[in-house]
Amino acid sequence: MKYMLIMRATDEAFAAFADADFEQMIETVGRYNQELIRAGVLVAAEGLGDASEGVVVDYSSEPPVVTDGPYGETKELFGGFYILNVASKEEAVEWARRSPLTGPGLKTEVRRVTTIDEFPQDNEWIKKERAWRESTGQL
């Protein structure tokens, strides 16, 4: 099963990282990433650029409204993610608990990634996606 570890932080937590030793942070996260690789569970891991450089597309109206970041009432920002291929939710949670990115205002959300097999296989769009995934080596 695949699980996504969604790394979240408050504005204050992001601000605190501005003063952190960048080389030390890379080394600490690098060690954690290496553990995931050695365990054979890491599928993907990426950090995200600054929220001030992003946009939000709000579909509440027609046409959708596009708003530049930073976002008005942000309580937590999505700063990056890991995708792990593990045996259970409990294992994914255990990896999340071992994250070196800890402290006030930091959280990790653990969510299962659904698979294409969970959708109706006789649907034409699912068939097209399955064919694409097979042609690109994703299945």
What pLDDT score was predicted for residue 34? 97
Alpha carbons 60 and 12: distance in angstroms, whole number: 29
DSSP bridge pairs for 44: 83
What pLDDT score was predicted for residue 30? 94
Q: Which domains occur in the chain, in start order?
A: 2-135 (3.30.70.1060)
Average pLDDT in the 75-80 region?
79
What pLDDT score was predicted for residue 103? 85
Average pLDDT in the 87-101 region?
96
What pLDDT score was predicted for residue 3? 97
Task: Report the predicted TM-score, pTM, of the whole model to 2 decimal places.
Answer: 0.84
**Do 104 and 8 form a contact (C-beta atoms < 8 A)?**
no
**Do 66 and 56 form a contact (C-beta atoms < 8 A)?**
yes
Backbone angles phi, psi at 47, to 5 degrees: -95, 165
Task: Quote the mean pLDDT of the chain.
Answer: 90
What pLDDT score was predicted for residue 126? 93
| Local confidence band at 135 (pLDDT 50, 70, 90 cut-offs) | very high
User: What percent of the chain has pLDDT above 70?
Assistant: 95
Query: Residue 74 pLDDT more than 80?
Result: no
| Local confidence band at 58 (pLDDT 50, 70, 90 cut-offs) | confident
Average pLDDT in the 13-35 region?
88
**Do 77 and 51 form a contact (C-beta atoms < 8 A)?**
yes
What pLDDT score was predicted for residue 109? 94
